[in-house]
Structure 1
Amino acid sequence: MKLLALDTSSEGCSAALLIDGSMTERFELAPRGHTRLLMPMVRELLAEQGLAPAELDAMAFACGPGSFTGLRIATGVVQGLAYGLDVPVVPVSSLAAVAADASARFSLAEGDGIAVAFDARMGEIYWACYVCRAGQPELIGDEQVCAPEALSLASGVSSWTGVGRGWVLQDTFPADVTGAMNNIDDSLVPRASRVAGIAAQAFREGRGVAAAQAQPVYIRDEVAWKKLPGR
């Protein structure tokens, strides 16, 4: 399998190339540099492996939630490339990518929980709870956006790790949420290598979509729409 993954959903900008189980990645923290950096990263990765774009089997990207501008950048690039190459695209949750990073970094055990928090601005948090299953994060419930004081943990999990930039705001989280954490790492941001790892499994399961169906997931817009009168 030859899969190219992109992420521009946060201040990090990254591209990763997965070839038959071997991963290479370019990553840089550059809050305003996504447009400038992303395509050179892609070209470098392909050249380094001597791979032509036409040899790719699939593409993947972190579809959100995250920076609205960043999500549009990755979506536009992945759609353009995938359409031209006629390959499927695998959208991957940005929150799941960070959960996968946490699972590996902390060597979490089967059944351990991961609480991922991103700063959604406007006094809100992007939030999702995962449990480790066979080495992969499995979403419990739904991804959501809410006020910090409204956060809650999924039941049935006894060991928790909190990750993601949103944890810099942990002083505003409920005491029972912060008190349940064994570890907290507020430095983790989505990375294309973790997107690629999740996408590879999804691709093998036939969960790729056509380029036109590769859309960003904002969560906030979806919630606001559902709150409109009559919805």
Structure 2
Amino acid sequence: MSKSMHRLLAFDTSTETLSVAVQHGDRTIVREGAGGAQSSSTLLPLIQSLLAEAGLELASLDAIAFGRGPGSFTGLRTACSVAQGLGFGAGVRVLPVDTLLAVAEEARHRHGAQRVVALLDARMSQVYAAHYDFTGVPEGDAPLPADPQLLSPEQVQAAEGWTLAGNAFGAYDAQLPGGLARVEALPTASALLRLAPGLLAQGLDVAPAQAWPLYVRDKVALTTAEREAAKTAALPPSTS
């Protein structure tokens, strides 16, 4: 894929903030709203509004970028299903982007951070974390891939010179490593747009059917059947 892509749609619903952006040539339009459960009803109308404002048809897009996770289970399912539906309907390939990479890119773009520990609140006294080193990486390119981890705040490690970035400070600031710069950052659609050309140049776009979420924490809830099975397994053996 060429890095000259200039008709892009990007959205992220992995946090409590819904973020959508459209790029048409040198023009970028960005909108934000309430995320979480509300994003399932507001994302599509917002996308349609932005495309109309930019004078773009879905089928004319070079790619659809979306935050694939980790993040809110409901939000990730919304993002993936919308990316799949739009991609199938318009015959456009999709670009799954790690949300923690988008957080790190936002920290680099807004605060000049070069070595970033990206953190997102995973609830349940845990954070999603990944390290990204932008040193020597040209603007618009992505650093080497990092495997996101699910950690307690006390388990997060970072050396001197690294910056903590994300949305986990309100809940876990005291437990996170001290003596390091901290910047608030979210996986914005603008960050996805900035990353997209480099990721597309690496051939990381996929067919819509492969718009899968990255959960990291596989499950936080069991189905009714799974709960019943767990109860049965926990029962003492019968003596009859």
Using structure 1 for the length normalisation, give the TM-score. 0.84
Distance 2:126 2:173 in 1: 12
Q: Which amino acid aligns with 1:211?
A: P
TM-fit CA distance, 1:52: 1.4
> Residue 197 of structure 1 corresponds to which residue in structure 2?
194
> Residue 120 of structure 2 corresponds to which residue in structure 1?
118
> Residue 104 of structure 2 corresponds to which residue in structure 1?
99
Distance 1:30 1:125 in 2: 19
**Aligned residue runs from structure 1 range 4-153, under 5 A:** 4-108=9-113, 112-132=114-134, 133-135=137-139, 136=141, 138-139=143-144, 141-153=146-158
Distance 1:10 1:98 in 2: 11
TM-fit CA distance, 1:213: 0.8
Q: Is the 8 A contact 1:59 1:90 kept in 2?
A: yes
Identity, in percent, stands at 38
Higher strand share: 1
Structure 2: runs of 5 or more not aligned: 1-5, 220-240
Change (3 A) 1:140 1:92: closer
Residues 7-61 of structure 1, C-alpha deviation per residue, up to 9 Å, x if partnerless?
A: 1010111211122343211112444421232112111111112111121121110
Q: Which amino acid aligns with 2:182?
A: I
Give the SS at the match of 1:138.
coil
Over alpha carbons, which structure has the higher Rg?
A: 2
Cα-Cα RMSD: 1.8
TM-fit CA distance, 1:139: 4.6
Distance 1:141 1:42 in 2: 29
Q: Is the 8 A contact 2:142 2:195 kept in 1?
A: no
Matched, 1:167 2:148: no
Q: Which amino acid aligns with 2:149?
A: Q
Deviates more, 1:191-200 or 1:132-141: 132-141
Distance 2:83 2:145 in 1: 28
Distance 2:156 2:55 in 1: 47
The structure 2 residue matched to 1:211, chosen from 202, 208, 213, is 208
Give the SS at the match of 2:214.
coil
Structure 1: runs of 5 or more not aligned: 223-231
Q: Is the 8 A contact 1:3 1:200 kept in 2?
A: no
